[in-house]
Amino acid sequence: MTETERDEAPGGPVPADLAAALGADLHARAATASDLSFTISDPTLPDDPLVWVNPAFEKVTGYSASAVLGRNCRFLQGPETDPAAVDRIRAGLREGRTVAETLINYRADGTPFWNQLVISPVLDDDGRVTHHVGIQADVTDRIEAQRRREAELEAATDDRARLQLLARVTEGLARNLEYDAAVRTLAEILVREFSDWGYVATVDDRGRVDRLHVAVADSRDLPDAAALQALDLSWLTRSPSVRAALTGESDAWPEPFRIDAAGLPERTTPEQLALLRRLGVGTALVVPLRARNRVIGVIVLVLAEGTFPRRHVVTTEHVAHRAGLGLDNVRLYERERAAALTLQRRMLPEVPEVEGLDVAATYLPAQRPAEVGGDWFDVMTLPDGAIGLAVGDVVGHDLGAAAAMGQLRSVLRSYAWSGAPANHVVEHLDELVRGLGMADIATCTYLRLRDGRLEYSRAGHPPPMVLMPDGSVRALDGALRTPVGVPAIDDVTPVATAELPPGATLVAYSDGLVERRDRGLREGLEALRETLARVPVTASAAEARDLLVGTLLGPDLHDDVCLLVVRRPADPQP
């Protein structure tokens, strides 16, 4: 390359010593013609200015050679240029080594671009740096594509995490059919996931806070959380953000905010203020719990330091939407179940005082939403001096079964009052049920006890059992006919008799006591026999009842249970 050619080269003349360092005319021409941006700066001059740029540099940056020669290339930096990357470049150049970085630079018109650059020192024969050669490439498209992929991956990860959290909340609420437990579960899950501490508060139909559970991420804060939860709850509604959420004053998307620590003394007692400060009063996120077009509560999460990432805000709002409906369902379940159980228990008799007998009974409802069953028991002192005892079960678990149960109990009482034998009472009950369609199918056992003699008849019902004074157990498994409502095999309803001597205990029950999902009827009857054999013969009726219930029933009842225990005390010793 001649001197004239060098002077007229695009981007300005290539310094003679650099051209020599490049070693050949071809190298200089290649740098000039390349689509890669090339720059050359001279560190021997003040501020290491650019002394040559190729046309690709002009095209990428929008700066002309005449505008940049003689200037340090820092003019490419701007507001979003990473200062740490710039410091690394400077350190590398000072140490005389090649540096490579990808950072945001700015074109002449102010638009940013991602610049992938490599700057290498050019050494003379004595090893001194004479120039810096820079190669730049606009990698904006690649970086943006990578960012989009990362954003999509992060969004997918957030969606998966959100779905997993929603599943945990839904499962937790479904497992807890008690409102207090459901509120506690929601607070514990969200606080452990997103904050240092927080709480879930719910309101009653009048908008008054009726439940609060304060949860903490660090177990060391549990005493403070418990103390705050036990105090007067009026501090909640004195918080402007909580009050706005509970009254539905704002439909705006929830946003984190700094807690007004200076205003807390006006809204809290000294004890509450001390507890809040120990728990931490940094940044809060308040999200209303909505269900069926009304606010039923609020979720409050607190970080002592820092703020909530956007994805945590979005997830909490989604959880609140799902949890609000879930909590409302639990509350409705509790109300309906309470009403149903009240109806069921009103239909069952109070256990009467019976002269010469020790009587105890219990009714335990199955754990089903708003359902009552058709199980019942009855104890009657009859006009002829006998004692009528009954346990029955109408097939079904709904209000229809409960209503049918009430009818059957009334019919049985009327026939029993007439003094009819046990089998005639059962037979008349069956005739009326089939004639009037009072129930689909029912089972029952009716017993008449007089002077220690039992007379009984069973319509498809499991056998009563008697704990004898010597500790042996006898099943009253005779006098069995088809269930009430099912045509009998023959026209005769059987009757059987047994003795209930002094010191003996009679146990009559519905099948929920002995039969469950993991145990068939045969196994259940054997378990009842074995358990009854372990009851002390001197135990009262209530003690025997409690031992049977505690031993035979698990924590989850899948069927209603009626249990009637009648003990004939031993004759007093002379």
- For the CA atoms of 15, 18, 22, 25, the dihedral, rounded to the nearest 10 degrees, stands at 20
Q: Which fold is adopted by the domain 348-567?
A: Phosphatase 2c; domain 1 (3.60.40)
Amino acid letter, 112 = P
Q: Dump pLDDT digits (tens) for 242-254.
A: 888 888 766 667 8
Q: What's the distance, Cα to Cα, between the start and end of the chain in Å?
A: 139
Q: Could you tell me the CA-to-CA distances from 58 to 65, 75, 108, 249 in Å, in that order? A: 7, 14, 10, 57
CATH 3.60.40.10: which residues of the chain? Answer: 348-567
What is residue 484's DSSP assignment?
B
Question: Is the CB of residue 284 less than 8 Å from the CB of residue 264?
Answer: no
The position carrying tokens 């007998």 is 357
Amino acid letter, 122 = V
Question: Is the CB of residue 437 less than 8 Å from the CB of residue 505?
Answer: no
pLDDT given at position 1: 41
- Report the percent of the chain where pLDDT is more than 70: 82
CATH class of 3-138: alpha beta
Look up the CATH superfamily of 152-338. GAF domain (3.30.450.40)
Region of residue 110 (left: phi > 0; alpha: psi -120 to 50; beta: else): left
pTM, entire model: 0.50
CB-based contacts of 279: which residues, under 8 Å, 6+ apart?
Answer: 196, 197, 216, 221, 224, 225, 228, 302, 304
CA distance 290 to 287: 9
What is residue 489's DSSP assignment?
S
More confident position, 398 or 446: 446
- For the CA atoms of 408, 412, 413, 417, the dihedral, rounded to the nearest 10 degrees, stands at 160
Amino acid letter, 278 = R
Q: Dump pLDDT digits (tens) for 463-499.
A: 999 999 999 999 999 999 999 888 777 777 899 999 9
CATH 3.30.450.40: which residues of the chain? Answer: 152-338
Q: Dump pLDDT digits (tens) for 52-109.
A: 999 999 999 999 999 999 999 999 999 999 999 999 999 999 999 999 999 999 999 9
Q: Dump pLDDT digits (tens) for 359-406.
A: 999 988 776 544 556 788 999 999 999 999 999 888 765 556 666 777
Alpha carbon 324 to chain centroid, angstroms: 12
Question: Is the CB of residue 506 less than 8 Å from the CB of residue 566?
Answer: yes
CATH 3.30.450.20: which residues of the chain? Answer: 3-138
